[in-house]
Structure 1
Amino acid sequence: MKKWRNIIVGGLITALFVFSLSGCAGKETESGSQENAADNVIITETGETLVQEQPTEEPETAATPEAQSDLPAPDVVPEEMPQEPEQEQVVSEEDQTESKGGHLQIVFMGDSIFDNSRDGTGIPYLTSEACDADCYNLAIGGTCAAIELDEKYESDQWTSRSLVGIVKAIRGDISTDIFNGTRAGEILSSGKVDFSKTDYFIIEYGMNDLLRATPMSNSDNGYDIRTYVGALRYAVSNLSEYAPDATIILCAPNYAMFYNGDKFIGDGNTLNTGYGTLFDYKGSCEYVAKEQGAEFFDAYLDLGIDGYTAEEYLEDGVHLTEAGRRLYADALSEMILSIEETKNN
């Protein structure tokens, strides 16, 4: 009897040992091999570690609703989420909808940072004036780079006004009806613009992706358009294919300060809405630009907007004052003119 008891106990110990090993192996498989992970690790300027996945060979432009569970869970959910500040849109005759014979053609895509001030003080207008360019502003306030989880992704049922939606409309893959009621919709549906002849695509997203807690990336699908990184990759790769002679500039979101009502709850360096801070979204934007061979405009660090200068350059903690918009446009136009000079030499 004692012999059988020893055999049974020994078998149980062996089984537990094997189970423990298999559990550890399972964790190793989830995170990837040590060698592969090391290739994709980025240390941000705040000291945080980001693991960026390598793109798949073929862009995946959509994922089935059943696959939503493959998105990473939030790292942390803050007790208080920031409120999205509203800013009234201003439109004047400076907002261009057809060619005026400019030397260059520049197409802007983004959120309210580009969309709200469609007058002589807006970033797209000021940039285009400095570059002697026709300006087509396809920005839509309140939009993200990524499509949101409840938005339909099939081309014949498309419902997203995101960056991905704008790119699909430029390529003629979806109806422009979803953009009705916006200035972007007027330009897209007019038939007066040949987007394939664009010299510069300027892409600015990230603020709303942070505020809506958009997942940063999907390690199982580098082109997942429900994620910030996947949407940027999709946009750059598809625009490059559509207009191969165009230069694409990815603009990082600008520094911001966030409030819940009148209560300050953090800034771009500290507030994490689930998948990183605004600075982390900026880092991912820079990563995609380098990976995809696009230009990168660091509106977060290079404009000198921070907690000390926010009163001068930020209206509500997020949107830029006229001085902030001129600062942004001056730096962006300087980059474009520098690229043009290099091309011509």
Structure 2
Amino acid sequence: MNKKVTNEPIDLDADEPIDLDEEETSEEAGSSKDAPRKGFHLNLHVILIAVICLIAVIAGYRLYRWNQGGISAEDEVADVDPSEFDIETLDMIIPMDASALEGHEDDGVTTILCLGNNPFSDDRDSTGLAAQLASKTGATVYDCAFPDSSAACKYATYDPTYTKDHFNLYYVIECFRNNEFTAISSIAGDEPDPRFMDSVNVMKTVDMDKVDIIVIMYDSTDYNMGTPSDNPDNPYDVTAFTGGLRISIDNIKKTWPYIRVIVMSPTYAQAIDEDGNLYNGTTKDWGNGTLNHYLVKEADAVMDCGVSFIDNYYGTINEDNYQEYMTDYMRYNDAGREKLADRLADVINNKLSTVSSTAG
């Protein structure tokens, strides 16, 4: 069979020389580039498979130990120290202005007056908060707290049909300011709980000229009662949680400017409804805010008043450790009162100071 030969001319570009080895060289280069790439993919796959196998072996071993009882949930967290984590608290320790002490004679004895409710009043023995505070500070401590009382009053003006307002903060301060205990003594005498009269009897023995520090602590009572956290239209509304605090602190500072005031916040607590159902105080809103909302409002009010604030909600007994320190949804056991006493004593022993406001 004859081959057909074309007579058409080949168009050669004079500027581009023909390289007969170009195609072959290009293919060889491609092959040389592909070779290591294929090797890399192979090695990566091997590494991934090895890691997966290692994880599977470890998981299988731990599962075996778990089934044999050789490892527990406690073992998983045994080496975790919660104190290593930084907790942002709302603590605010205000130094005393030296000018407020002018004319006041210091007797050399630290005297502390404790006001509030159950953190102090539930236990007046050696395991009580006031007694432990005295032991840890060396101070003379008066416990004048009333059980189940509150920072706020029920009525804006005194209503004789509701005599328990006398045990709330505003009226307790008024008793000291007027040095008059007749009415509160009579009302306490009508209470079947002897702790009310115990507090009144202590009140009568306090010499306010010798008091150096007033500590105020109310638990979550105001929150659980549904007391308004504040009144934006009237910061001094005594029927609001922060209003009762503001007016009482202001009256203390006006009457006894030489006394330091320390407000201790509520700790974490649970909320309880009328059927006994429990809720997380951090998330349960009865209509006036959650418990930590009350905390923030209290911190703001105390800051406005220019006195010291200790945040127990995040800094002492919190949502993570409350079961260790509480007997129920809001009351403290002996360990809880000791923890509160340690926190307060640390501030009193180490963090209080006096400054001069006079320049130069």
**TM-score normalised over the length of structure 2:** 0.61
Structure 2: runs of 5 or more not aligned: 1-87, 89-106, 190-195
**Distance in 1, Cα, partners of 2:351 & 2:176:** 24
- In the alignment, is residue 216 of structure 1 matched against residue 229 of structure 2? yes
Greater C-alpha Rg = 2
Counterpart selection for 2:171 from 165, 168, 186: 165
**Distance in 2, Cα, partners of 1:150 & 1:344:** 37
Q: Map of 1:1-345 to 2, 5 A cutoff?
A: 103-149=109-155, 152=158, 159-172=165-178, 175-179=181-185, 180-181=188-189, 182=196, 183-188=198-203, 190=204, 192-260=205-273, 264-306=277-319, 308-340=320-352, 342-343=353-354
CA contact 2:113–2:141 (8 Å) conserved in 1: yes
SS at match of 2:285: coil
**Distance in 2, Cα, partners of 1:262 & 1:299:** 28
SS at match of 1:270: coil
| One-letter identity of the residue aligned with 1:315 | T
- In structure 2, the CA distance between the partners of 1:159 and 1:146, relative to structure 1 (3 Å rule), is closer
- 1:234, CA displacement in angstroms? 0.7
| One-letter identity of the residue aligned with 2:209 | S
**Distance in 2, Cα, partners of 1:292 & 1:150:** 21
**Distance in 2, Cα, partners of 1:118 & 1:102:** 25
- 1:219, CA displacement in angstroms? 2.3
CA contact 2:127–2:334 (8 Å) conserved in 1: yes
- Higher helix residue share: 2
Match of 2:30 in 1: none
**Distance in 2, Cα, partners of 1:243 & 1:112:** 25
CA contact 2:134–2:140 (8 Å) conserved in 1: yes
- 1:300, CA displacement in angstroms? 0.7
- 1:343, CA displacement in angstroms? 3.7
SS at match of 1:148: coil
| One-letter identity of the residue aligned with 1:295 | S
* TM-superposition CA deviations, 1:9-30 (whole Å, max 9, x none): xxxxxxxxxxxxxxxxxxxxxx
**Distance in 1, Cα, partners of 2:148 & 2:164:** 18
- In structure 2, the CA distance between the partners of 1:129 and 1:213, relative to structure 1 (3 Å rule), is same
**Distance in 2, Cα, partners of 1:170 & 1:109:** 12
Structure 1: runs of 5 or more not aligned: 1-44, 46-100
CA contact 2:317–2:325 (8 Å) conserved in 1: no
- 1:206, CA displacement in angstroms? 4.9
**Distance in 1, Cα, partners of 2:286 & 2:120:** 23
- In structure 2, the CA distance between the partners of 1:277 and 1:107, relative to structure 1 (3 Å rule), is same
| RMSD after superposition | 2.6
CA contact 2:230–2:297 (8 Å) conserved in 1: no
- 1:265, CA displacement in angstroms? 3.1
- The range that moved more, 225-234 or 142-151, is 142-151
* TM-superposition CA deviations, 1:225-246 (whole Å, max 9, x none): 1111111101111111111111
- 1:104, CA displacement in angstroms? 0.7
| One-letter identity of the residue aligned with 2:172 | I
| One-letter identity of the residue aligned with 1:201 | I
Q: Percent identity?
A: 27
Match of 1:98 in 2: none
**Distance in 1, Cα, partners of 2:132 & 2:151:** 23
| One-letter identity of the residue aligned with 1:339 | K
